[in-house]
């Protein structure tokens, strides 16, 4: 009897122990403690940023990077002031550089405010200038002269200033002797005869020579990377869009990739 009672007592003790202490699964508890919270997942996504160029070739990556750089560079404006005069300065600059196009684009005609005698003289002088200068219509020249006269300028001075603006305007063939009127890095067009060629002293230079017309002589430099045709000694060359420079206070012309070399007498087989 006593042995059965003892066994019964032992079983009851184990049951009491199980009731007082819950059985813990170590593996499940470890996984629950290591599970990240919502805030931890957000921080992890912020810290670990995906590579935007993953999977792209080197050429495609360079194209994307160049596009992003261009957008970033042009996004911000240098002059952000509310009272900025950028637009006004741009209009003045364009008016000085391209007089004919600017005057033709005006909606108001200054000739309408001139008297009949003044308008007759303006049209007569405009007809004369149109026959001397290339690339400008008689109407555009008449408008330019008329605006100067409307502002109170004498007709003679107005004609002289207009003639100078047309002669040395963009795209016009400038006499070599008048290159000192321009500033460095301006684009000018000249025409002359190659009277001398030199041996280039730098591998970046393709040809160096002297270009001469009736008004003077200037140095002509043709850069290697400009891919311009070779000039010949004694040949007439027309340089359009040449870069103007000054060396020891003397004007010189450089043919770049944006320039154009024209040879008016090349290929004239009927004169051979």
* pLDDT per residue as tens digits for the range 46-77: 555 567 777 788 888 888 888 888 777 766 65
Task: Give the helix/strand (H/E) hosting 253.
Answer: strand 250-255
- pLDDT lower than 50: segments of the chain: 1-3, 5-10, 101-104
| Among candidate residues 188, 173, 179, 185, the one with its CA nearest the CA of residue 236 | 173
The pLDDT score that the predictor gives to residue 96 is 67
Residues of the chain with CATH 2.40.50.140: 176-271
Superfamily of domain 176-271, CATH level 4: Nucleic acid-binding proteins (2.40.50.140)
The pLDDT score that the predictor gives to residue 268 is 63
In three-state secondary structure terms, 201 is coil
Q: Are 175 and 213 in contact (CB under 8 A)?
A: yes
User: What is the DSSP secondary-structure string of 39-83?
Assistant: HHHHHHHHHSPPPTTTT--HHHHHHHHHHHHHHHHHHS-S---TT
Q: What is the pTM of this model?
A: 0.47
The pLDDT score that the predictor gives to residue 147 is 86
Q: Can you state the percent helix, strand and coil of the chain, rounding each to 5?
A: 50, 20, 35
Task: Give Rg (Cα) of the chain.
Answer: 41
- Nearby residues of 172 by Cβ (< 8 Å), 6 or more positions away: 133, 134, 135, 166, 189
Q: Are 176 and 190 in contact (CB under 8 A)?
A: yes
In the block, residue with structure tokens 């109407």: 139
* Residue 158: DSSP 8-state: H
Q: How many C-beta neighbours within 10 Å does residue 131 have?
A: 8
The pLDDT score that the predictor gives to residue 210 is 93
Q: Are strands 236-247 and 187-198 parallel, antiparallel or unpaired?
A: antiparallel
Length of the chain: 272
The pLDDT score that the predictor gives to residue 182 is 81
Q: Are 122 and 145 in contact (CB under 8 A)?
A: yes
The pLDDT score that the predictor gives to residue 22 is 56
The pLDDT score that the predictor gives to residue 34 is 65
Please write down the HEC assignment for all residues of 111-140. HHHCCHHHHHHHHHHHHHHHHHCCCCCHHH
Kindly tell me the burial class for residue 143, based on how many C-beta atoms sit within 10 Å of its own C-beta (0-12, 13-18, 19 or more).
buried
The pLDDT score that the predictor gives to residue 218 is 93
């Amino acid at each position: 009897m006593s042995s059965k009672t003892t066994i019964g007592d032992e079983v009851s003790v184990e049951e009491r122990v199980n009731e007082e202490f819950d059985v813990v699964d170590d593996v499940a508890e470890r996984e629950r403690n290591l599970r990240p919270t919502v805030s931890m997942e957000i921080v992890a996504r912020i810290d670990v940023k995906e590579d935007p160029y993953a999977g792209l070739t080197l050429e495609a990556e360079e194209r994307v990077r160049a596009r992003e750089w261009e957008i970033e560079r042009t996004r911000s404006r240098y002059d952000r002031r509310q009272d900025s005069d950028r637009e006004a300065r741009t209009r003045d600059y364009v008016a000085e550089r391209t007089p004919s196009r600017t005057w033709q684009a005006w909606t108001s005609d200054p000739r309408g405010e001139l008297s009949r005698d003044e308008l007759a003289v303006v049209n007569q002088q405009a007809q004369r200038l149109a026959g001397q200068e290339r690339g400008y219509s008689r109407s555009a020249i008449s408008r330019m002269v008329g605006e100067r006269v409307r502002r109170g300028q004498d007709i003679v001075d107005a004609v002289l200033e207009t003639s100078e603006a047309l002669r040395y305007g963009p795209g016009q063939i400038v006499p070599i002797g008048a290159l000192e009127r321009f500033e460095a890095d301006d684009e000018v067009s000249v025409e002359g005869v190659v009277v001398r060629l030199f041996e280039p002293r730098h591998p970046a230079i393709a040809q160096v020579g002297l270009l001469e017309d009736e008004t003077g002589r200037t140095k002509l430099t043709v850069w290697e990377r400009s891919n311009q045709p070779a000039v010949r000694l004694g040949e007439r060359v027309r340089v359009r869009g040449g870069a103007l420079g000054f060396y020891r206070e003397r004007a010189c012309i450089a043919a770049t990739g944006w320039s154009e070399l024209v040879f008016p007498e090349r290929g004239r087989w009927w004169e051979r």
